[in-house]
Amino acid sequence: MISKKNTKWLFVILLITQYYNSAFSQTQWTYDFNNGLSPMEKGGPVLHKLGQSGQLIKEKVPGSGEKGVPEIIRTVYQFEKNTGLQFDNKEANGFLNKSFTVEIYFKLNELDSWKRVLDFKNRKSDYGSYIYDGKLNFYDFAIGEKAPVKANQYIHYVYSRDFETKAIKMYVNGISKVEFKDPGTEGVLDNDQVLNFFQDDLVANHEASAGSVALIRVYDRVMTPVFVRRSYQTISRAPKEVVAEVEAVKEESKPVEKATPVINTSLVQVTGKVFEGKNLAAVENADVSVRKTNNDSLVAQSKVHNGSYAFQLKPHESYKISVKAQGYQTKVIPVRTTNRATEVKSLISLSPETFDRPLATLLFTQSTETLESPAKTQLDSLVSYFQKRTDLKIMLKGHTDNIGDFDKNLLLSTQRVLVVKNYFLEKGISNERIQGIGYGSTRPTQKNQTEELRKLNRRVEVWAEPLKR
């Protein structure tokens, strides 16, 4: 039998428990700015202004473009360049400490260079979420494909990080644009426990833009692609709380140290990272060269250091940056420098080297196996290549046109292969690395209808293959 006194205390405990669960079981906080900087949900943390105070204004905001989602008048927070808003995780009782998602509907006035979206380290690090050249970017670990991000146009942006897998995903207008694994804790809050919106860090200057934000919503879980798409489709409607399951993303990457070049104020600092496109690991021992676009003249060249490169180039010029690395396909990107004393950043993703075509095709005179001068010049270049690439073997494939006896052509194609093999042997390439076969006239690349076409079939193809498969 419970006494009246104990019953009274039990009732008080139940009320306290109910209050505690209500206050701390919140799964999202939504800021649509109709309540100023306070969330729609009761008892949530107020957003703090960063830098110069912005203003709440009424603005005609477009919907997602989906059917039935028109433009509507809504309250937005308008902020100046290098200002923004801050979500204090301490005031939210550690709301963003594990898996979380951040959803924003905003526009930036300028997108001519790097523009900060999310800062997890309270201005102490250059790492974080940006928009650069219309692409989503998490400096300096991942970059997405070209996204529909334009100046002065609202976009729906979603960032999520899974606590267990460290998987980070970024979406624009309901479509996933970047997926990678956080190499450490770059995508989570540090000891300051604040999430900053739109204000840039103190490491690099001029990486922020003025703009407006119509919605900020944070979740204490990872939202699925289906939910993200649905949220985008209903962006102009009243916000609703939707429960969604966790989706894990499995991708790997390794941390990359950031270069800190010294900037000459009369030049433009061009920096970048070279990484392997499949697992986002930094590529070492890559050769980087810079050429002018208009005349292809060489301006500068160097090797990457810790996956990074840095050049100081003249302003207001167009350049081509070429990256070559053993085991990868060569990559060339265009770069346009702007004002002096600025920095141009780029991330260069390299694809693994493929061996689906010959490195060289050596042509022969009809009915002979003699190496002519053009073929020897090609072979000398290949000797240098294979001397450096000790991880590759050489595969020689001999061919003839269709003039003459079939068996004699088969023998001739084999003799041509032996001549080329002997040339490599004389230059120091080991016999174990060279294989060859003659096909005679059975594998023409051109129709044997004219002499001009037949001479292209009288050839030895030099292929490269990895020693280990």
Among the listed residues 282, 270, 120, 306, the one whose alpha carbon sits nearest the alpha carbon of residue 201: 120
Residue 243: what pLDDT?
Answer: 31
Task: Summarize pLDDT for 23-81 with one digit per residue, the tens.
Answer: 334 588 999 999 999 998 888 899 999 999 999 999 888 765 555 556 778 899 999 99
pLDDT at 195 over 90: yes
336-340 mean pLDDT: 81
pLDDT at position 50 is 94
> β-strand 84-88 against 100-108: which pairing, if any?
unpaired
The predicted model gives 188-194 an average pLDDT of: 93
Average pLDDT, the chain: 83
pLDDT at position 22: 38
Q: What is the pLDDT of residue 10?
A: 45
Distance CA 156, CA 279 (A): 27
How sure is the predictor about 12, in pLDDT bands with cuts at 50, 70 and 90?
Answer: very low
Kindly tell me if the per-residue pLDDT of 328 is higher than 50.
Answer: yes
Backbone angles phi and psi of 115, in degrees to 5: -130, 125
Say if residues 118 and 127 touch (Cβ distance below 8 Å).
no
pLDDT over 50 (residue 246):
no
pLDDT digits (tens, 9 = 90+) for 82-98: 999 999 999 998 999 88
The more confidently predicted of residues 112 and 309 is: 309
Of 175-189, 231-245, 266-280, 355-369, the range with the highest mean pLDDT is 355-369
Spatial separation of the C-alpha atoms in residues 146 and 136, rounded to whole Å: 8
Evaluate if residue 7 carries a pLDDT over 70: no
Q: What is the pLDDT of residues 383-424, one digit of tens each?
A: 988 998 888 999 999 999 999 999 999 999 999 999 999 999
In this structure, the strands spanning 298-303 and 343-350 are unpaired
415 vs 395: CA distance, rounded Å: 15
First to last CA, the chain: 78
DSSP, collapsed to helix, strand or coil, labels residue 176 as: strand
C-alpha separations of 436 from 388, 401, 426, 431, 462 in Å: 21, 18, 16, 11, 9
- Whether the pLDDT of residue 256 is over 60: the answer is no
The mean per-residue pLDDT over the stretch 6-13 comes to 45
Instruction: Report pLDDT for 67.
Output: 54
- Distance, in Å, from the CA atom of 305 to the CA atom of 284, rounded to the nearest integer, reads 7
Question: Is residue 149 scored above 90 in pLDDT?
Answer: no
Evaluate if residue 241 carries a pLDDT over 50.
no
Greatest mean pLDDT among 195-204, 263-272, 338-347, 460-469: 195-204
Nearest to 222 by CA among 32, 452, 28: 28
Average pLDDT estimate for 263-269: 71
Query: Which among 228, 216, 232, 229 is positioned nearest to 29, based on CA atoms?
Result: 216
Please report which confidence band the pLDDT of residue 257 belongs to, taking 50, 70 and 90 as the band edges: very low
- Do residues 236 and 60 touch, judged by C-beta distance below 8 A? no
Q: d(Cα 194, Cα 8) in Å, to the nearest integer?
A: 41
Q: Which pLDDT band holds residue 139 (cuts at 50, 70, 90)?
A: confident
Q: How far is it, in rounded angstroms, from Cα 312 to Cα 362?
A: 41
pLDDT at 120 over 90: yes
pLDDT bracket for residue 179 (50, 70, 90): confident
Count the Cβ atoms, other than its own, within 10 Å of residue 283: 21
Between 351 and 237, the more confident residue is: 351
Q: Which one of 152-161, 177-186, 233-242, 298-307 scores highest in mean pLDDT?
A: 152-161
Provide the pLDDT confidence category of residue 297 given band limits of 50, 70 and 90. Answer: confident
Higher local confidence (pLDDT), 440 or 339: 440
CA angle, 453 as apex, 447 and 459 as ends, to 5°? 95
Average pLDDT over residues 334-346: 80
The arrangement of strands across the sheet holding 308-313 comes to 308-313, 268-276, 343-350
Residue 276 pLDDT class (50, 70, 90 cuts): confident
- The candidate with the shortest Cα–Cα distance to 130, out of 103, 154, 157, is 157
H or E stretch covering 422: helix 406-426
- As a whole number of angstroms, the distance between CA 36 and CA 55 comes to 10
Question: 71-94 as b/e, with b when 16 or more CB fall inside 10 Å?
Answer: eeebebbbbbbbbbbbbebeebee
